[in-house]
Amino acid sequence: MLWFLFLLPWLVACLAMVMPSNRWRPWLVPIGGLAHLILTGFAVAGGPVTILQDWLALDPLSILVLGFVSTLFFICSLYAPGYLAQRPERSNRVFCACLSSMLGMMTLVIMAHHLGLMWVAIEATTLATAPLLYFNHTPRSLEATWKYLLIGSVGIALALLGTFCLAYSSIYEGLEPTLLLEDLVSLAPKLSMPWLHAAFVLLLVGYGTKMGLAPMHTWKPDAYGEAPGLVGALLAGGVTSCAFLAILRFYQICMNAPEATFVREILIVIGLFSMAVAAVFMIRQRDFKRMLAYSSVEHMGILVLGIGIGGVAAFGALLHMITNGLTKGVLFLSAGNIHRAFGSKNTDDVQGAMKRLPISGPLFLAGFLMVTGSPPGGPFISELTILIGTIQAEKYLVAGLFLATMSIVFIGMGSTVLRVVQGVPSAKVASTPYRERPELVIPIIVFFVLALALGLWIPPPLETILHNAVAYLDGGVS
């Protein structure tokens, strides 16, 4: 089963490479996405398994992330044929193949229990997404791709150094050298502390670059600003979740070692810093796609903050990974539609999106309200859970800063979003040929309904999976 799960997207990618018809090729992506989702459903129902001598495994944490990433990918893939049909002049061969191999690589990251293999897979997601960013072939997208590739690769190189330090921490204590997660978790109390600290810092910088935590986030506004909305949604929901999972793996090892407070404090500080940086750059942001990138930086900060606090907040953080990912789907896809309808992503030109786009415009506004934590959206519940966890842990200063940055973000993001959706579109814009089409709005509606539903009711199976994941994260080996 697990073999199929990560080989299937590769098969689809190969098919996309050889398929001659530019018109029908994009349909391979949703078909592959659906097959992957069905397989994931079976795998999740089947519970934890390991294959390949513990190298690949489904543990409670990977079940959660895999289920989420597969769902996210499927909904995004529904958008792909409609989006690519708008661009008949351009060959989508590489685009479709890269989308599918990105899914394969994310699956591999999620299942990898060998930290070296996980590194290889994460670097491969960077490489698979670079051509997606360059799909528009403009000088600006070229610049964004270059920055993404170089900053991402250098960051991930540091994560490799961190992985090596981790391996050395076991050699230094005369233990059997290993990079298997299970072994490291059980050996954690005996590992050499200085090397473990060095490893954690390097890994946090490395995978934090990929996740987009400040101050390693500089590629993010450029990449998300220039990428097609579809790719933005997949990066902000899928790839960042994979990088977050990588950080969680090391957190899990450190939690079983003495001096875990060191790790928690670092996570809290970097989380708050990311939120603050994002808040500052979101004020007076005139490019609404870049604004979404800063929103992503903010929410990555919230995720690591929640994990750093632990307990109830860790539950909230894992839930927030899902609710934020789904809401980002609403925002990026509707922003993509707005961008295309207006031919600009600057608020000086884009006004009156509600009138011009009767479905995408209101959804963009609703997505903004949800992502900033307005009830009854899903992010409201998860952010509230993190806040409750912070207060329970008696970290009142952290809770205060959390609320303060959230309100600055609400004001900053609100002023940009309201400029986009309100007002009257200029005559020049009203005449562009773009019209709302079902295939370009249905995926957004699906994202919206899911994100909203999670705010009203968390299904019991999901709740069980979340509880299992938190228990696994704190308790070590399942």
Binding site for another protein (CB under 8 A): 114, 116-117, 119-120, 123-124, 126-127, 130-131, 134, 139-140, 142-147, 149-150, 153-154, 157, 160-161, 164, 167-168, 170-172, 174, 177-179, 192, 194-195, 221-222, 225-226, 281
Find the shortest distance in angstroms from Cβ 291 to another protein: 11
Q: Do 329 and 237 meet the contact criterion of CB atoms below 8 Å apart?
A: yes
Find the shortest distance in angstroms from Cβ 257 to another protein: 15
CB atoms within 10 A of CB 105: 25
Find the shortest distance in angstroms from Cβ 126 to another protein: 8
Find the shortest distance in angstroms from Cβ 293 to another protein: 11
Find the shortest distance in angstroms from Cβ 350 to another protein: 18
120 or 403: CB nearest another protein: 120
Find the shortest distance in angstroms from Cβ 295 to another protein: 15
Find the shortest distance in angstroms from Cβ 196 to another protein: 11
115 or 357: CB nearest another protein: 115
148 or 447: CB nearest another protein: 148
205 or 398: CB nearest another protein: 205
As a whole number of angstroms, the distance between CA 143 and CA 122 comes to 22
Q: CA dihedral defined by 458, 459, 461, 464, rounded to 10 degrees?
A: 30
Find the shortest distance in angstroms from Cβ 194 to another protein: 5
- Residue 180 in tokens: 């298997």
150 or 397: CB nearest another protein: 150
- Residue 3 in tokens: 């073999």
Q: Do 378 and 454 meet the contact criterion of CB atoms below 8 Å apart?
A: yes
171 or 388: CB nearest another protein: 171
3-state secondary structure of 214: coil
Which of 444, 325, 432 shows the shortest CA–CA distance to 82? Answer: 444
Q: CA dihedral defined by 65, 106, 444, 77, rounded to 10 degrees?
A: -140
Find the shortest distance in angstroms from Cβ 304 to another protein: 23
Find the shortest distance in angstroms from Cβ 134 to another protein: 7
- The three-point CA angle 335-129-443 to 5° equals 35
**Is residue 235 within a helix (H) or strand (E), and if so which, with residue range?**
none
82 or 232: CB nearest another protein: 232
Q: Do 247 and 208 meet the contact criterion of CB atoms below 8 Å apart?
A: yes
96 or 469: CB nearest another protein: 96
6 or 448: CB nearest another protein: 6
Half-sphere exposure of 154 (CA within 13 A, CB side): 9
Q: Find the DSSP H helices in 422-458.
A: 427-430, 438-456
Which of 114, 125, 148 shows the shortest CA–CA distance to 242? Answer: 125
277-305 in b/e form (b: 16+ CB < 10 A) is bbbebbeebebbbbbbbbbbbbbbbbbbb
228 or 329: CB nearest another protein: 228
What DSSP string describes 88-137? Answer: TTS--HHHHHHHHHHHHHHHHHHHB-BHHHHHHHHHHHHHHHHHHHGGG-
Which of 303, 304, 363, 310 shows the shortest CA–CA distance to 337? Answer: 363
Strands 49-51 and 56-58 turn out to be antiparallel
